[in-house]
Amino acid sequence: MSEQRNHFGTDGVRGRVGVEPITPDFVMRLGWAAGKVFSQGRRGRVLVGKDTRISGYILESALEAGLASAGADVLLLGPMPTPAIAYLTRTLGASAGVVISASHNPYHDNGIKFFSGCGSKLPDATEQAIEALLDQPMAMVEPAALGKAERLNDAPGRYIEFCKGTVEPWVDLSGLKIVVDCAHGAAYHIAPHVFGERGATVIPIGVAPDGFNINAGCGSTAPEALQQAVAEHGADLGIAFDGDADRVVMVDGRGQLIDGDALLWIIANDRRDSGGLIGGVVGTVMSNLGLELAFEAAGVPFSRAAVGDRYVLERLREHGWQLGGEASGHILCLDKATTGDGIVAALQVLRAMVRSGRSLDELCAGMERLPQVLVNVTVARRFDPMAVPRVAEAVAAVEARMGRAGRVLLRASGTEPKIRVMVEGEDAALVDTLATELAEVVRGAVVA
């Protein structure tokens, strides 16, 4: 078997529902292949959770059938945040955890991602073993060895208690009015309780999922709804998650958006000041240059990884550090959770507010964001834009024009058929012009 991944991307298997690989037939075969791998030498026990997409019902049933046909027992959790699956997989001693979710994508997409028994993303070797079995005929175990399925009804309560316990008892949120936007996603019945039970007055929005409205004009990918709600209710701040709650962005009392870069800055400073920062911080190639310069001025080591929380995690492990994340709001606090967790990250920010007595906007002081423009170019299929000569030449020309006062990055999205074109520098007008010009070059390369 080649080490090339035919189906797994940077975050599991994802696509449009009804188009392979996101079909009931393929997902059943994927469940069977995973069940075989997770059950080697013993009877596997696999947790299955999902977000609130309408297709989750079908894919959950298909996955359950595939896992059970391979001899693995299935524990169904229902709608739960992705990091909750990671936590429960580890604490319940399961062989693996599976999440049915397309994260921040629209309802018509869905995906399957896996966690190992220790609550981390699967090693490459395990993904390759599953891929290899997908090429083989699906053969059920003997009837006496078929897996069983049951539901864990107290999964939300278990995870709520875990989240509350990731900050000290003195982190009292009484007196804070917080708007919490759950994107009509998996955290709709979780996040409001976490912050409310820590004392905050919570105004929940995006908590009425109907199978189709996940991430639709709400949540971390559309923070305008949160900004408006914070203003309308005179709230101290707002918190927005994406559909599976592994991302978080916030809004301060003035309505200003606080993205993942700023959240990293706040958490790192709080840990440094209270003696809890181990080593440095990992960002990505998309992290704003202003964040890197701020950490440099503060004497905090900073390292960039490729885009994707799995790569941030790899870099953290390389350095032996605990804190990292992405501008999109994936924040990893490895002393608290094994994977990116939006609720846990938000609690770390609130801890900084309570400990310092400062507002969210005050905690952002010290980090000056450089103008950054990101243009997404939709393509029929993902490809390496820098492998196209005319694109590489255009990038080189822009880099020469900007010199050391800016950055250029082109990359294929790992989750969508898009090419990301990012330009960053001191001159906002120039950055916008150059990003637009580069995007046009990429579009021309696609047409050609």
Positions marked active-site: 103
List 115's β-bridge partners, or say none: 97, 121
Is beta strand 45-50 parallel, antiparallel or unpaired with respect to 372-378? unpaired
Structural Rg of the chain based on CA atoms: 22
Query: Are 71 and 145 spatial neighbours (Cβ–Cβ below 8 Å)?
Result: yes
Report d(CA 26, CA 47) in Å as an integer: 19
Report d(CA 103, CA 83) in Å as an integer: 11
Q: What is the DSSP string of 112-145?
A: EEEEETTSSBPPHHHHHHHHHHHTSPP-PPPGGG
Report d(CA 72, CA 70) in Å as an integer: 6
Query: Are 82 and 29 spatial neighbours (Cβ–Cβ below 8 Å)?
Result: no
Query: Side-chain half-sphere of 350: how many Cα atoms within 13 Å?
Result: 34
Residue 438 tokens, joined: 């580069």
Q: Please give the C-alpha separations between residue 315 and each of 73, 163, 283, 322, 386, in angstroms, as whole numbers.
A: 34, 25, 9, 10, 24
Q: What is the DSSP string of 230-267?
A: HHHHT-SEEEEE-TTSSBEEEEETT--EE-HHHHHHHH
